[in-house]
């Protein structure tokens, strides 16, 4: 009984009076936090990273002979594996004062790590499945290298989370998370963009912290440069895959490309604006950061997409902000519940839809796709 009371009273190991109690608190914390983290990773909303499945046979049937030279060069680079051994803690990994971290920052940063880990792992699962199911050596080799990289990335983020007593249960996610089916062309658009925007995000943060090291509040940012080169290469692979079939980037599909560009950009905008403390700690203006990442991603995507979004159009920013306000409204209404909550949610969803339509209908800028696809990371 005394032990029971003591268990209930002590919430932190610093307050524990026996070794058993101290250990029990840690165990309980680890289980609780990891469950919570996995629950966050399990969420399937418009804003959270999803798991995908596709028509693996169709993907396996892709013939890369029209891009053979670039393809072989890219795969040789992946085979050389320049980042082998990179994603582990070393002497550059400074101590992290998780307990001393400002609570709001800690919450947002953990949310950032969990969602990044889920996104990395989502790529890992999809690529690994393609590698397993395919018989076309070009395709299975590519997906073997890419899934190798994503597993390292997810593992490294999990290392960082573990220091805060948290781990995303990747085995559980594989089995339990809902998979969204996308036909191969949608996988190309979505994955190409997520790899390239991932590169643009990581390199923008890395360059900013290079100039302002006093804002580097966690060591993981030191790894972002080599990290984003992996993502860049992955994006190159999808650019080449799209190049094998001109239909994928012409005709009606141009509208699909515009849809994916708008959806990916606006999702990032809304999510990032939900993490004000995180961006403040980095010394980054979220709005500047968003536009900067869009600009880099658009510039890169000229390698294969026949359009780029007009992110300087007078309707662009105001409607991103409207979308963000609508998303806050939906969140608040969900929390409120009841009839009022339902009405608020419907109103929020109508506003979000109107804002998205206003963004989607901004005339795109035409782009003449170059004959030469391959790019090198330039930022």
Residue with tokens 């969204």: 180
Choose which of 148, 185, 196, 234 interacts with Fe ion (CB under 5 A): 234
Residue 196: CB minimum distance to Fe ion, A: 10
The Cα 174–Cα 122 span in angstroms is 9
Residue 195: CB minimum distance to Fe ion, A: 5
Of residues 305-364, those binding Fe ion (CB under 5 A): none
Cβ closest to Fe ion, residue 109 vs residue 202: 202
Cβ closest to Fe ion, residue 201 vs residue 279: 201
Residue 127: CB minimum distance to Fe ion, A: 8
Residues in contact with Fe ion, total (CB under 5 A)? 6
Residue 150: CB minimum distance to Fe ion, A: 5
Cβ closest to Fe ion, residue 120 vs residue 129: 120
Q: Give the pair of three-digit tokens for residue 369.
A: 């796709």
Residue 356: CB minimum distance to Fe ion, A: 26
Cβ closest to Fe ion, residue 71 vs residue 316: 71
Residue 332: CB minimum distance to Fe ion, A: 33
Which region, judged by CB under 5 A, interacts with Fe ion, from 91-99, 211-219, 227-235, 363-371? Answer: 227-235
- Kindly write out the interface string for residues 158-197 of this chain, putting x where it contacts Fe ion by CB under 5 A and - elsewhere: -------------------------------------x--
Give every CB contact of residue 202 below 8 A, 6+ residues apart in sequence. 224, 225, 227, 228, 231
The HSE-up count of residue 201 (CA atoms within 13 Å, CB side) is 17
Of residues 6-25, those binding Fe ion (CB under 5 A): none
Cβ closest to Fe ion, residue 195 vs residue 236: 195
Cβ closest to Fe ion, residue 233 vs residue 279: 233
Burial, 91: exposed, middle or buried (Cβ in 10 Å; 0-12, 13-18, 19+)?
exposed
Residue 50: CB minimum distance to Fe ion, A: 15
Which region, judged by CB under 5 A, interacts with Fe ion, from 149-157, 279-287, 319-327, 334-342? Answer: 149-157
- Kindly write out the interface string for residues 107-126 of this chain, putting x where it contacts Fe ion by CB under 5 A and - elsewhere: -------------x------
Cβ closest to Fe ion, residue 218 vs residue 234: 234
Which region, judged by CB under 5 A, interacts with Fe ion, from 70-78, 101-109, 137-145, 231-239? Answer: 231-239
Closest CA to 121 of 176, 185, 59, 57: 176
Q: Give the pair of three-digit tokens for residue 173.
A: 């996610």
Decide if 262 contacts 360 (C-beta within 8 A).
yes
Residue 1: CB minimum distance to Fe ion, A: 51
Choose which of 131, 153, 258, 273 interacts with Fe ion (CB under 5 A): 153
Cβ closest to Fe ion, residue 25 vs residue 151: 151
Does residue 138 interact with Fe ion by CB under 5 A? Answer: no
The Cα 130–Cα 144 span in angstroms is 8
Residue 184: CB minimum distance to Fe ion, A: 17
Give every CB contact of residue 310 below 8 A, 6+ residues apart in sequence. 316, 362, 363, 364, 365
Residue 141: CB minimum distance to Fe ion, A: 16
Which region, judged by CB under 5 A, interacts with Fe ion, from 5-13, 86-94, 226-234, 263-271? Answer: 226-234
Choose which of 108, 231, 272, 292 interacts with Fe ion (CB under 5 A): 231
Binding site for Fe ion (CB under 5 A): 120, 150, 153, 195, 231, 234
């Amino acid at each position: 009984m005394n032990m029971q009371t003591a268990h209930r009273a002590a919430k932190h190991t610093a307050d524990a009076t026996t070794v058993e109690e101290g250990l029990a608190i840690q165990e309980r914390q680890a289980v609780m936090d990891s469950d919570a983290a996995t629950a966050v990773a399990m969420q399937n909303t418009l804003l959270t990273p999803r798991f995908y499945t596709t028509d693996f046979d169709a993907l396996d049937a892709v013939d890369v002979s029209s891009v053979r030279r670039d393809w072989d060069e890219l795969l040789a680079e992946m085979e050389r594996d320049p980042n082998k051994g990179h994603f582990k803690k070393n002497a550059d990994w400074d101590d992290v004062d998780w307990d001393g971290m400002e609570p709001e920052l800690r919450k947002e940063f953990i949310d950032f790590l969990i969602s990044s880990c889920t996104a990395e792992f989502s790529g890992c699962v999809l690529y690994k499945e393609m590698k397993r199911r395919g018989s076309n050596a070009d395709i299975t080799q590519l997906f073997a290298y890419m899934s190798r990289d994503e597993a390292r990335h997810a593992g490294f983020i999990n290392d960082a989370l573990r220091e805060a007593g948290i781990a995303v249960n990747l085995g559980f996610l594989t089995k339990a998370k809902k998979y969204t089916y996308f036909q191969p062309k949608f996988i190309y658009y979505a994955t190409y963009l997520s790899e390239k925007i991932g590169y643009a995000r990581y390199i923008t943060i890395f360059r900013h912290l290079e100039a302002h090291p006093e804002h580097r509040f966690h060591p993981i940012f030191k790894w972002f440069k080599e990290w984003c080169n992996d993502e860049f290469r992955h994006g190159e692979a999808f650019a080449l895959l799209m190049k094998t079939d001109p239909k994928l980037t012409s005709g009606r599909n141009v509208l699909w490309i515009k849809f994916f560009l708008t959806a990916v950009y606006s999702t990032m905008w809304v999510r990032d604006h939900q993490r004000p403390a995180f961006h403040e700690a980095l010394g980054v203006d979220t709005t500047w950061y968003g536009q900067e990442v869009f600009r880099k991603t658009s510039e890169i995507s000229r390698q294969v997409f026949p359009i780029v979004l007009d992110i300087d159009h007078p309707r662009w920013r105001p409607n991103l902000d409207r979308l963000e306000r609508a998303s806050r409204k939906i969140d608040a209404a969900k929390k409120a519940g009841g009839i009022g909550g339902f009405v608020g949610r419907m109103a929020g969803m109508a506003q979000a839809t109107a804002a998205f339509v206003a963004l989607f209908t901004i005339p795109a800028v035409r782009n003449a796709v170059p004959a030469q696809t391959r790019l090198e990371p330039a930022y």
